[in-house]
Structure 1
Amino acid sequence: MPHVSQPDVRSVTPAARLQAILDLMQEVDSVDRPADAVISAWFRARRDVGAEDRGPISETYYALLRAHARLGWWLARHGREDTPRNRLLAFLVLDGKKTRDEVARLFSGGMSAPAPLTDNERALLVKLQGGRMDSPSMPEEVRLECPAWALEPFRNRFGAEFEREMAALLTPAPLDLRVNPIKAKREDMVQALRELGLPAEPSVSAPFGIRVRERPSLSRLTMLKSGEVEIQDEGSQLVALLMDARPGERVVDFCAGAGGKTLAIAAQMANRGHVIACDVMEGRLKRGAERFRRAGLHNIETRLLASETDRWVKRHKGTFDRVLVDAPCSGTGTWRRNPDARWRTLGAGLETLLPQQARILASAARLVKPGGRLVYATCSMLPDENEGQVASFLAAHPDFRVLPLTEVAPQLPPSAHPDYLSLTPARHDMDGFFAAVLQRAPLPPAA
């Protein structure tokens, strides 16, 4: 049984928590980085903020992000500037149901507390008092926190389930973990988490998954540092499962990033065979290599590519049993986990992503040996990035065919598509993921 650390009991006042949230809001707004990365760095730099406070601070901040469009609508309605401070004040009244006097006591200007309310801010609280976060006057895209560009694609994708799926994207994501079978057993890890007071249960579908229905301070989870578990959404675990990688095989994770799915694939292979984690970002591969070592996995090699058409691909055509293409995408399936991604354009748009995905898939397919398996995956729920890409690829590559999900993984939950893995938050309580399993035709028998 692994050693589990005791919780840090240091705590600050509710007013100091609000000031910390304001600081976080300003920090995130000032840099072009995803909010989760900024939050992690912010907490690392502030060791004085104890574990008892980190959870509530993070939860409130993410709740603010999930109400981004609606808070902006209320501020505009009352002619107020959309600033972090006004946004927090509106949130405390509309979501926290706090009175003007309660807010004033928190914004006291005392030690570590936010500065006192101005007359203009007090007037805003009066206008908002008794209101609700949702208003029948709101446009649909505001009420559902859906960027205008995604409204019609999502409506076409989900049909009658549109509002239900958008509502699910506004719920907090659970903490999903994947046990590393090289180092630990799932039942032992579940017990260790429960001893920390966490509501941990085995995942419904992922054989090595654990779900925790709250967001603890990760510093308490010593099994993360030891490589016994990794943070990985259950849907992502199922994508890796579709590779069905066997001990002794040669496997490529073509867009490996920091190696989350690479770890799961290498563990499937019981540390035997050869896995190559490829990416065009050296920093990601270095972070991945550290995770591989921590996990005790020695069958993984990292490979930095200049582009998706790197000469390495040509030199290794037709030599791999399994190839995963976890393509760069819009990330719409992760919006409940990364709510800021709805509104902040930190990467390429669809006009760039769609042709890039097609190029990556076509190039990576060259690596697959006859009879081998190619898995194309995204964390998007937009058909153009998913079924559309697969259809175009198959039309241009008649030597590949789809292996239906019911054939390759009948144990997985019913999908929104008969042939592909198509997961959604409302239907499966996982991030939105898509995966297609394709097989290259085997060589004809010798005459």
Structure 2
Amino acid sequence: MQLSSLLGHASELVRIVRKSPQPPDALAADFLRARKYIGSTERRFLSELVFHTLRTLSLADDVTRRFTLPDIVHGALALALSDTMPITLSEAMTAASKTTVADLDQPMQDAVAWCRTHLDIRANAPDDMSDATWACTQPWLLDSIGNDGVDLFRSMLGPAPLCLRVNLRHTTRDRVMHELASMGIQAEAGRWSPAAIIIRQRVNLLQHALYLNGMIEIQDEGSQLIGYACDPHPNDDVLDACAGAGGKTVHLADLQNDSGRILSADIEGARLKEIFGRTRRAGVRSVVTRLVHLTRGLDVSDARRGFDVVLVDAPCSGMGTVRRLPMVKWRLTPELAKRHAAKQRKILSTYARHVAQDGVLVYATCSILPAENRQVVEAFLADHPEFVEEPLAPVLARHGITVDGLDGTSGMLQVDPWHHGTDGLFMARLRKVS
């Protein structure tokens, strides 16, 4: 397929994604499934270029305007071919279209040359470009982060790697890595979680025995740290208050050696049903599910005397996942962010009622925004003097975990792609003392 045709398809898919609230990966899969004439290498090229465009919209738009290119996809391609971004499409483009940079028309060649000269990823923004455009985000989001905002947002321009969590009840990380190596899959141990394996190539393990037999789950390394922050003991009663599809639920059961009682609650019945597949694969029997109202909490019959550990992985903006869901950062508004924070404060207060005396409350989000993270916890502590911040470092150390940037006395931890190579996630560990 000629490059012009590939760019036309990419432009069409970008328009579809920008208009739809559906996840980009699902839209891309539907788009490509309906066009069976597109070969596998060309599909990879289209997918990479479309996601690269979505991640770099403001910068790609700037390049497009500077050189009067046909549309934003051409600007994104110029960025990719300049080797100044966290992703390069040179090999994919050559394989898919048999085209090199020298074969491009003059405006595209000029755009690539300008990007190579002015957009060194290790440097600052050009003098005539705003920091927000350079960081590929909205100005208000950049302001909300503060001094490190540009570096943080720039770190989220590349694709996220595949991260596995090993079920340590049934196998070891070394054994799984050996099995992956025998399949020709290059893998590396995670930096933080003792159960994490990082794979940087494109692979599908969902039909492999390792996954089907519950030896591995797909879970970001930062997300795995939330389970360790909960640190449930055997026989503890645990509430996963916003369980979703149960990724953290199953990890908590693994940490308890499946010997406690875990109640997984969520407002979406369809997502709760996914937990059954996960628990079956992992051989977990200690989990029960409950459909609940978002801000009412549990029925009295479920609450009993209270739970030893309550995890509130609150609904949030998702700003820590923009490597996977790039449209999140373009669609979020200040008003929506405020609504998220207000809802989070209410949910946290609701489920705090279910914490037993001397029990643990862990609050978590997949966001990098202080308004959804530290500020929510600080407001909660001001209103609930019966809870205190409990240092996370010694809790994580019990699992052999030391995280860069974690103060020894702090009960709050923010991880992100720039500092830790993970998704952007926040967690806070609180203890009920009275």
1:26-425 pair list within 5 angstroms: 26-40=15-29, 42=31, 55-77=44-66, 86-96=71-81, 125=108, 128=111, 130-132=113-115, 134=119, 135-155=126-146, 159=147, 161-218=148-205, 221-310=208-297, 312=299, 316=303, 318-345=305-332, 349-410=336-397, 411-417=401-407, 418-419=409-410, 420-425=412-417
Give TM-score scaled by structure 2 length.
Answer: 0.83
1:436 to 397, 403, 428: 428
Give the Cα separation in 1 of the matches to 2:184 and 2:15: 33
When structure 1 is superposed on structure 2, of 218-227 and 191-200 the one drifting more is 218-227
Give the Cα separation in 1 of the matches to 2:368 and 2:21: 24
**Structure 1 counterpart of 2:355, one-letter code:** V
Report deviation, 1:44: 6.5
Give the Cα separation in 1 of the matches to 2:33 and 2:167: 26
Going from structure 1 to structure 2, the CA distance change for 1:129 and 1:427 (only over 3 Å counts) comes to: closer
Count of aligned pairs: 406
Give the Cα separation in 2 of the matches to 1:42 and 1:289: 30
Report deviation, 1:183: 4.0
Report deviation, 1:14: 7.1
Partner secondary structure for residue 192 of structure 2 = coil
Partner secondary structure for residue 230 of structure 2 = coil
Give the Cα separation in 2 of the matches to 1:166 and 1:26: 23
Give the Cα separation in 1 of the matches to 2:194 and 2:32: 32
Going from structure 1 to structure 2, the CA distance change for 1:201 and 1:399 (only over 3 Å counts) comes to: same
1:427 to 405, 409, 419: 419
Going from structure 1 to structure 2, the CA distance change for 1:222 and 1:166 (only over 3 Å counts) comes to: same
Report deviation, 1:284: 1.4
Give the Cα separation in 1 of the matches to 2:375 and 2:75: 42
**Structure 1 counterpart of 2:57, one-letter code:** H
Report deviation, 1:18: 5.2
Report deviation, 1:76: 3.7
Partner secondary structure for residue 132 of structure 1 = helix
Going from structure 1 to structure 2, the CA distance change for 1:266 and 1:201 (only over 3 Å counts) comes to: same
CA contact (8 A) 1:328 1:378 kept: yes
Deviations 1:305-330 (A, max 9, x none): 12221452686164211100011122
Report deviation, 1:220: 6.7
**Structure 2 counterpart of 1:213, one-letter code:** R
Quote the RMSD (CA, aligned, Å).
3.3
Give the Cα separation in 2 of the matches to 1:129 and 1:176: 33
> Which residues of structure 2 form unaligned runs of 5+?
84-89, 98-103, 120-125
Partner secondary structure for residue 361 of structure 1 = helix
Counterpart of 2:86 in structure 1 is none
**Structure 2 counterpart of 1:143, one-letter code:** W
Give TM-score scaled by structure 1 length.
Answer: 0.80
CA contact (8 A) 2:316 2:365 kept: yes
1:5-20 pair list within 5 angstroms: none
**Structure 1 counterpart of 2:185, one-letter code:** L
Going from structure 1 to structure 2, the CA distance change for 1:13 and 1:297 (only over 3 Å counts) comes to: farther
**Structure 1 counterpart of 2:214, one-letter code:** G
Going from structure 1 to structure 2, the CA distance change for 1:220 and 1:317 (only over 3 Å counts) comes to: closer
Counterpart of 1:5 in structure 2 is none
Report deviation, 1:296: 2.2
Partner secondary structure for residue 114 of structure 2 = coil
Give the Cα separation in 2 of the matches to 1:173 and 1:313: 41
CA contact (8 A) 2:143 2:149 kept: no
CA contact (8 A) 2:415 2:424 kept: yes
CA contact (8 A) 1:271 1:297 kept: yes
